[in-house]
């Protein structure tokens, strides 16, 4: 059974609904569609991107008021006169205006972290609401009336059961576009925003841009919903665009399932129906009128969040028979997809990375003191030393995650201290992390494909329309190839979080290789691996070395290190205490004393 | 691993005259036919194992074999099928809170410290169940833990987030010890630790056993683990593939081939 049939059935039922249902229910369905469009944007923003917004209702208002003003104003400025002639033209203006406002607000607020971002959205949500109410030309709190109906191919959509089709077609298209986008290279970058920003930046993802993309998309969805609303009601006033509605939209997302696209529809449907139903029922039960539905509603939300914190949609999916769910698995790999072009590796023995007198202070603590080292192509260099010696700190400075207090880091002769990890990734450095950083809910394949982010070119539009399928197939095929190379070819479609910790570390190596780097920084790659796995890793790293890759690794397994690497640098208390060939370093009394032990 | 390998590789042959190990009368932990499934995938199938009082038992095996799953199921973090006898009575389905209260401790693979709390507070939280039961003598245990890990005493006021890898592991073990467990389960205690600290950890494991704490150990340094352990199990693709006294397994050619290797002079040193 294919879920596509379910979608087909849904479309069919929707198509017949206005013919079969009384007008009251058609109106309700219209509202559900309008709300769902806004909530869809919120799913993208909050559920997928991890940015909570209370301000979506303001964007709805922006779309509604722009169109209301343009289509009803008696005298428009000459340069704008064209926009008043049809709701479709005013939609265009509304979308452009909303996108611009979103860009501006995004630039101001998206850098905020933690609870400051939601607070920021409340702030501009309130501001826009009061703006609508205060501006004389927008009718103040009385609002604007007499809006024209939308006409489509000469058909005037002046009744609920007519505009119904427009609303639901737009909603379904928006759902498909959103799903397409999430299921692409740009989509993986967006999905990495929640909990994987440091990792994504190290793979070359511009996380701020990804945030901005979903912020603008969610604002535009809201604006289109507002436009539809305005021309369905043919009247607007500020009330439905206030903070209360902004909170209701969030509720809908929570009820339906904040991270599932179809949850938006479910949440909007349930909240709308429930409100109507409670409003009718409660006065009968309690014997007098009042806003009891809000109280009952609050209780229901609390109960729901306890029973199904992920929302209702994931719960429904959980009840589906397993064979249906098989089809929901991550996109399959096309084995015939062309190989991606590769970077030309520098000549053997060339100096790739050099740290010169790098010092890093955290307040009074000197984590790295005058550290110097160099890595050449076709060489494996090990950095060893006791826990807390400053190895990971040095790694962070080499890879652009952190900036040295003094000293320089040169990559292929270019100074890179001060550059971001994204820029360093661009130049050909790829790394793994001491504490595994992956997206546990995403498939193994998609996690690794994030590593190939910089090897794709296609943008958000192409992804939304799925015009980038060839490139996408190439990226996924590359991810598969790297996974097979590291020995994880059997678990492409498993959730990354379900792998054992040692396998997750290997996954990180595949992800790093997917970037086609010329320098690999591996932070404890063999930790938690067993003998055979270590042997396989050793073989892989040797092969990469012979291909001309430069590798710098931190590792505590001395049997693994001493049998594999070309040179060793030993650190203690932030400084270098020894360096040289493995056999020499192992005999060095200072190293034995500080690290290896063996002198009693 | 094929079933043929399981049959031939049993270090303890299943002959009728040999007393099966799961009849050890003084076992602190005994599990029978324990299975765990993630959806349709069975991560652990019909595993039986026991830990005698005052014993160190180790489980070795490749990544993804189900070692962490096994510990999680015993602890009650994961749902399972089968029987878990702990300290003489049967747990239908282990529940974390109950298991902790009854004297089972787990030091998880990822340590899971309360990073925004001080070292001392982390340790005190380890005695939470004892406090709840009305025991107020845990300051004595706290002193024991500080004696065992002088470094934690030095850093008692520091936030756990600021500790180095080795200190974090010490804190995780110390926190578990605060509950005065009858059985301590250690998941990869040496993960990410430098050789000297790893040796220290192994010494501590041996010292704990001297104090009568039973230990179930999952450890990447298989050779060192077999040196400190009394008994060992090999877990492969969710099943117990081999078992036997640790010394015997350490000399078993198949174990050497698959898990110990020959050239491992550095690992050899870890358990000295």
Query: Where would I find the beta strands (DSSP E) of chain B?
Result: 27-38, 41-52, 56-60, 81-86, 89-91, 104-107, 183-187, 214-218, 231-236, 239-245
Q: Considering only the beta carbons, identify the residue of B64, B193, B198 that sits closest to A500.
A: B64
Q: Check A595 against B194: CB less than 8 A apart.
A: yes
Q: Chain B closest CA to A533's CA: distance in Å? A: 8
Nearest CA in chain A to B264: A559
- For residue A330, the model assigns a pLDDT of 53
- pLDDT band with cut points at 50, 70 and 90 for residue B14: very low
- Between A265 and A113, the more confident residue is A265
Q: Considering only the beta carbons, identify the residue of B40, B63, B164 that sits closest to A533.
A: B63
Within a domain: A420: yes
Number of structural domains in chain A? 3
Task: Report how far residue A272's alpha carbon sits from residue A252's, in angstroms, rounded to the nearest whole number.
Answer: 9
Nearest CA in chain A to B187: A528
Q: Check B195 against A595: CB less than 8 A apart.
A: yes
A373 in the same domain as A263: no
Q: What is the pLDDT of residues A317-342, one digit of tens each?
A: 878 766 555 444 556 788 888 888 88
HSE-CB at B93 with a 13 A cutoff on CA atoms is 6
Residue ranges of chain B whose CB lies within 8 Å of a chain A CB: 38-40, 60-65, 67-68, 109-110, 164-167, 188, 191-199, 220, 222, 258-261, 263-267, 269
On whether the CB atoms of residues A371 and A355 are closer than 8 A, the answer is yes
Within a domain: A527: yes
The answer, yes or no, to whether residue B7 has pLDDT greater than 50, is no
Task: Report how far residue B179's alpha carbon sits from residue B105's, in angstroms, rounded to the nearest whole number.
Answer: 7
- Enclosing domain of residue A318: 26-327
Within a domain: A275: yes
Nearest CA in chain A to B38: A498
Task: Report how far residue B186's alpha carbon sits from residue B183's, in angstroms, rounded to the nearest whole number.
Answer: 10
Q: Considering only the beta carbons, identify the residue of B40, B64, B197 that sits closest to A387.
A: B197
Q: Check A388 against B164: CB less than 8 A apart.
A: yes
Q: What is the pLDDT of residues A230-249, one digit of tens each?
A: 999 999 999 999 999 999 99
Most confident of A256-260, A337-341, B53-57, B193-197: B53-57
Q: Chain B closest CA to A393's CA: distance in Å? A: 12
Percentage with pLDDT > 70 across chain B: 89
Nearest CA in chain A to B220: A528
Q: What is the pLDDT of residues A521-537, one digit of tens each?
A: 999 999 889 888 999 99
Task: Report how far residue A218's alpha carbon sits from residue A99's, in angstroms, rounded to the nearest whole number.
Answer: 9
On whether the CB atoms of residues A471 and A337 are closer than 8 A, the answer is no
The mean of the pLDDT values for chain A is 90
Q: Check A502 against B63: CB less than 8 A apart.
A: yes
Domain boundary among A480, A514, A548: A514
A264 in the same domain as A170: yes
Structure tokens given for A575? 């400084």
Q: What is the pLDDT of residues B35-73, one digit of tens each?
A: 998 877 789 999 999 999 999 999 999 988 999 999 999
Which residues, in sequence order, are CB contacts of B7 under 8 Å at separation 6+? none
Helix (H), strand (E) at residue A300: helix A292-307
Domain of A239: which CATH number?
A: 1.10.3470
Residue B162: strand, helix, or coil: helix
Q: Chain A closest CA to B236's CA: distance in Å? A: 12
At the topology level, CATH places domain B3-11+20-111+180-270 in Rossmann fold (3.40.50)
Q: Check B195 against A529: CB less than 8 A apart.
A: no
- For residue B12, the model assigns a pLDDT of 44
Q: Check A501 against B60: CB less than 8 A apart.
A: no
A324 contacts in chain B (CB < 8 Å): none
Q: Which of A76, A96, A90, A200 is nearest to A147 (CA)?
A: A90
B263 contacts in chain A (CB < 8 Å): 559, 563
A323 in the same domain as A367: no
B110 contacts in chain A (CB < 8 Å): 501
Nearest CA in chain A to B64: A500
Nearest CA in chain A to B163: A388
Burial tier of B23 (Cβ tally within 10 Å: 0-12, 13-18, 19+) = exposed
Q: Check A387 against B164: CB less than 8 A apart.
A: yes
C-alpha separations of B259 from A440, A530, B66 in Å: 28, 7, 16
Domain parsing of chain B, residue ranges: 3-11+20-111+180-270
* Angle in degrees, CA A212, A217, A220, rounded to 5: 125
Structure tokens given for A261? 């696209």
Within a domain: A18: no
Task: Report how far residue B224's alpha carbon sits from residue B131's, in angstroms, rounded to the nearest whole number.
Answer: 36
Query: Which of B41, B64, B65, B256 should we substitute to test contact with A (largest number of A Cβ atoms within 10 Å)?
Result: B64
Q: Check A387 against B198: CB less than 8 A apart.
A: no
Query: Where would I find the beta strands (DSSP E) of A186-305?
Result: 235-236
C-alpha separations of B263 from A150, A474, B199, B226, B256 in Å: 79, 41, 18, 16, 10
Find tokens 């097979």 and name the residue: A484
Q: Check A386 against B68: CB less than 8 A apart.
A: no
Domain of A381: which CATH number?
A: 3.40.50.300
Nearest CA in chain A to B199: A597
A117 in the same domain as A69: yes
Burial tier of A280 (Cβ tally within 10 Å: 0-12, 13-18, 19+) = exposed
- For residue B57, the model assigns a pLDDT of 97
Q: Check A528 against B197: CB less than 8 A apart.
A: no
Structure tokens given for B238? 């969710």
Q: What is the pLDDT of residues A35-47, one digit of tens each?
A: 999 999 999 999 9
Q: Which of A179, A526, B147 is nearest to B156 (CA)?
A: B147
Nearest CA in chain B to A562: B266
Q: Considering only the beta carbons, identify the residue of B60, B164, B193 that sits closest to A556.
A: B193
With a threshold of 0.90, does the pTM exceed it? no
A590 contacts in chain B (CB < 8 Å): none
Q: What is the DSSP letter of A241?
A: G
Structure tokens given for A445? 């394949």
Q: Check A387 against B265: CB less than 8 A apart.
A: no
Lowest-pLDDT range of A384-388, A566-570, B233-237: A384-388
A371 in the same domain as A224: no
A379 in the same domain as A497: no
Which residues, in sequence order, are CB contacts of B170 under 8 Å at separation 6+? B149, B151, B152, B201
Q: Check A501 against B188: CB less than 8 A apart.
A: yes
Within a domain: A103: yes
Instruction: Report the Cα–Cα distance between both ends of chain B, in Å, rounded.
Output: 32
Q: Considering only the beta carbons, identify the residue of B67, B68, B193 that sits closest to A387.
A: B193
A535 in the same domain as A497: no
- For residue A317, the model assigns a pLDDT of 82
HSE-CB at A209 with a 13 A cutoff on CA atoms is 11
Residue A350: strand, helix, or coil: coil
Q: Considering only the beta carbons, identify the residue of B63, B193, B198 that sits closest to A503.
A: B63
The answer, yes or no, to whether residue B216 has pLDDT greater than 70, is yes
A530 contacts in chain B (CB < 8 Å): 60-63, 220, 222, 259
A544 in the same domain as A449: no
The answer, yes or no, to whether residue B17 has pLDDT greater than 50, is no
A527 contacts in chain B (CB < 8 Å): 191-192, 220
A452 in the same domain as A352: no
Within a domain: A352: yes
Give φ, ψ of A598 to 5 degrees: 110, -20
B238 contacts in chain A (CB < 8 Å): none
C-alpha separations of B131 from A20, A32, A160, B101 in Å: 65, 53, 65, 11
A563 contacts in chain B (CB < 8 Å): 263
Task: Report how far residue B178's alpha carbon sits from residue A387's, in angstroms, rounded to the nearest whole number.
Answer: 25
B261 contacts in chain A (CB < 8 Å): 531, 535, 559
Task: Report how far residue A558's alpha carbon sits from residue A596's, in angstroms, rounded to the nearest whole number.
Answer: 8
The secondary structure of chain B in percent helix, strand, coil, rounded to multiples of 5, reads 40, 25, 35
The answer, yes or no, to whether residue B18 has pLDDT greater than 70, is no
- For residue A319, the model assigns a pLDDT of 80
Residue ranges of chain A whose CB lies within 8 Å of a chain B CB: 322, 384-388, 434, 498-503, 524, 527-533, 535, 556-559, 562-563, 594-598
Domain boundary among A464, A482, A514: A514
HSE-CB at B266 with a 13 A cutoff on CA atoms is 19
The answer, yes or no, to whether residue A168 has pLDDT greater than 60, is yes
A372 in the same domain as A228: no
Task: Report how far residue A446's alpha carbon sits from residue A496's, in angstroms, rounded to the nearest whole number.
Answer: 9
Q: Considering only the beta carbons, identify the residue of A388, A524, A530 that sits closest to B259.
A: A530
Nearest CA in chain B to A586: B266
Nearest CA in chain B to A563: B263
Q: Chain B closest CA to A564's CA: distance in Å? A: 13
Q: Check A559 against B166: CB less than 8 A apart.
A: no
Structure tokens given for A410? 């040169």
Q: What is the pLDDT of residues B104-136, one digit of tens each?
A: 999 999 889 999 999 999 999 999 888 888 888
Q: Considering only the beta carbons, identify the residue of B68, B192, B261 that sits closest to A524.
A: B192
Query: Where would I find the beta strands (DSSP E) of B69-176?
Result: 81-86, 89-91, 104-107
- For residue A325, the model assigns a pLDDT of 56
Task: Report how far residue A521's alpha carbon sits from residue A552's, in angstroms, rounded to the nearest whole number.
Answer: 5
- pLDDT band with cut points at 50, 70 and 90 for residue A287: confident
Structure tokens given for A321? 């028979």
B65 contacts in chain A (CB < 8 Å): 500
Say how many CB pairs under 8 Å bridge A and B. 97
Within a domain: A5: no
A351 in the same domain as A323: no
Domain boundary among A514, A541, A563: A514
Within a domain: A333: no
- For residue A309, the model assigns a pLDDT of 83
Percentage with pLDDT > 90 across chain A: 62
Task: Report how far residue A240's alpha carbon sits from residue A251's, in angstroms, rounded to the nearest whole number.
Answer: 15
On whether the CB atoms of residues A63 and A223 are closer than 8 A, the answer is yes
B235 contacts in chain A (CB < 8 Å): none
Q: Check B195 against A533: CB less than 8 A apart.
A: no
As a whole number, mean pLDDT of residues B187-210 equals 89
A355 in the same domain as A292: no
């Amino acid at each position: 059974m294919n879920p596509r049939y379910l979608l087909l059935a849904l479309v069919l039922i929707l198509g017949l609904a206005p013919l079969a249902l009384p007008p009251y229910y058609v109106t309700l369905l219209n509202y559900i569609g309008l709300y769902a469009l806004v909530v869809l944007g919120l799913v993208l923003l909050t559920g997928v991107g991890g940015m909570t917004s209370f301000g979506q209702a303001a964007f709805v208002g922006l779309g509604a008021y722009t169109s209301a003003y343009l289509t009803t104003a008696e005298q428009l400025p000459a340069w704008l006169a064209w926009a008043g002639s049809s709701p479709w033209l005013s939609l265009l203006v509304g979308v452009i205006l909303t996108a611009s406002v979103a860009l501006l607000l995004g630039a101001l607020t998206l850098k905020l972290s933690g609870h400051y971002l939601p607070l920021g959205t409340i702030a501009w949500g309130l501001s826009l609401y009061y703006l609508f109410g205060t501006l004389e030309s927008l009718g103040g709190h009385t609002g604007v009336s007499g809006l024209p109906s939308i006409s489509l191919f000469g058909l005037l959509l002046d009744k609920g059961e007519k505009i119904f089709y427009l609303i639901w077609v737009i909603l379904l298209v928006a759902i498909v576009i959103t799903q397409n986008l999430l299921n692409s290279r740009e989509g993986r970058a967006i999905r990495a925003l929640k909990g994987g920003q440091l990792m994504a930046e190290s793979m070359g993802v511009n996380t701020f841009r990804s945030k901005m993309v979903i912020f603008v998309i969610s604002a535009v969805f809201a604006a289109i919903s507002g436009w539809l609303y305005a021309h369905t009601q043919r009247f607007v006033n500020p009330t439905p665009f206030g903070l209360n509605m902004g909170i209701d939209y969030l509720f809908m997302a929570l009820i339906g399932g904040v991270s599932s696209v179809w949850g938006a529809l479910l949440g909007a449907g349930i909240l709308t129906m429930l409100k109507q139903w409670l409003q009718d029922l409660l006065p009968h039960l309690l014997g007098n009128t009042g806003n009891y539905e809000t109280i009952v509603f609050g209780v229901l939300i609390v109960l729901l969040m306890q029973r199904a914190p992920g929302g209702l949609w994931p719960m429904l999916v959980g009840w589906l028979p397993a064979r249906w769910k098989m089809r929901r698995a991550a996109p399959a790999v096309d084995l015939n997809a062309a190989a991606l072009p590769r970077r030309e590796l520098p000549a053997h023995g060339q100096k790739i990375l050099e740290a010169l007198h790098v010092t890093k202070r955290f307040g009074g603590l000197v984590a790295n003191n005058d550290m110097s080292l160099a890595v050449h192509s076709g060489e494996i260099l090990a950095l060893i030393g006791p826990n807390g010696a400053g190895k990971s700190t040095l790694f962070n400075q080499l890879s652009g995650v952190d900036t040295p207090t003094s000293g320089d880091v040169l990559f292929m002769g270019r100074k890179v201290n001060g550059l971001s990890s994204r820029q360093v990734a661009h130049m050909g450095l790829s790394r793994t992390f001491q504490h595994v950083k992956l997206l546990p809910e995403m498939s193994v394949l998609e996690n690794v494909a994030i590593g190939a982010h910089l090897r794709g070119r296609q943008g958000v539009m192409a992804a939304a329309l799925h015009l980038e399928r060839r490139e996408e197939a190439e990226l996924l095929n590359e991810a598969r190839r790297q996974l097979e190379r590291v020995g994880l070819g059997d678990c492409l479609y498993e959730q990354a979080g379900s792998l054992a910790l040692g396998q997750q570390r290997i996954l990180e190596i595949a992800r790093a290789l997917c970037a086609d780097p010329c320098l690999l920084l591996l932070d404890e790659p063999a930790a938690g691996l067993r003998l055979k796995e270590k042997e396989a890793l050793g073989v892989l790293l040797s092969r990469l070395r012979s291909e001309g890759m430069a590798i710098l690794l931190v590792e505590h397994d001395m049997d693994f290190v001493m049998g594999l690497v070309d040179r060793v640098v030993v650190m203690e208390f932030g400084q270098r205490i020894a360096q040289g060939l493995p056999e020499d370093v192992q005999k060095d009394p200072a190293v034995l004393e500080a690290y290896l032990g063996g002198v009693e | 691993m094929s079933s043929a390998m399981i049959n031939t590789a049993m270090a303890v042959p299943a002959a009728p005259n040999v007393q099966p190990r799961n009849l050890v009368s003084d076992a602190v932990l005994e599990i029978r036919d324990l299975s765990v499934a993630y959806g349709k995938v069975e991560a652990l199938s019909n595993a039986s194992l026991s830990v005698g009082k005052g014993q160190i038992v180790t489980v070795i095996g490749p990544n993804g074999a189900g070692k962490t799953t096994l510990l999680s199921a015993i602890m009650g973090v994961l749902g399972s099928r089968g029987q878990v006898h702990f300290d003489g009575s049967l747990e239908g389905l282990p529940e974390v809170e109950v298991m902790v209260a009854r004297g089972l401790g787990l030091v998880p693979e990822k340590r899971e410290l309360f990073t925004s709390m001080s070292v001392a507070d982390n340790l005190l939280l380890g005695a939470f169940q004892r406090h709840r039961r009305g025991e107020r003598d845990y300051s004595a245990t706290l002193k024991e833990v500080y004696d065992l890990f002088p470094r934690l005493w030095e850093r008692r006021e520091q936030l756990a987030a600021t500790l180095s890898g080795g200190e974090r592991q010490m804190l995780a073990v110390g926190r578990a010890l605060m509950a005065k467990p009858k059985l301590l389960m250690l998941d990869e205690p040496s993960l990410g630790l430098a050789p000297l600290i790893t040796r220290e950890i192994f010494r501590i494991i041996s010292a704990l056993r001297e104090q009568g704490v039973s230990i179930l150990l999952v450890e990447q340094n298989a050779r060192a683990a077999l040196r400190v352990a009394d008994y060992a199990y090999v877990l492969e693709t969710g099943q117990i593939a081999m078992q036997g006294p640790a010394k015997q397994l350490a000399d078993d050619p198949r174990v050497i081939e698959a898990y110990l290797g020959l050239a491992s002079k550095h690992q050899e040193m870890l358990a000295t």
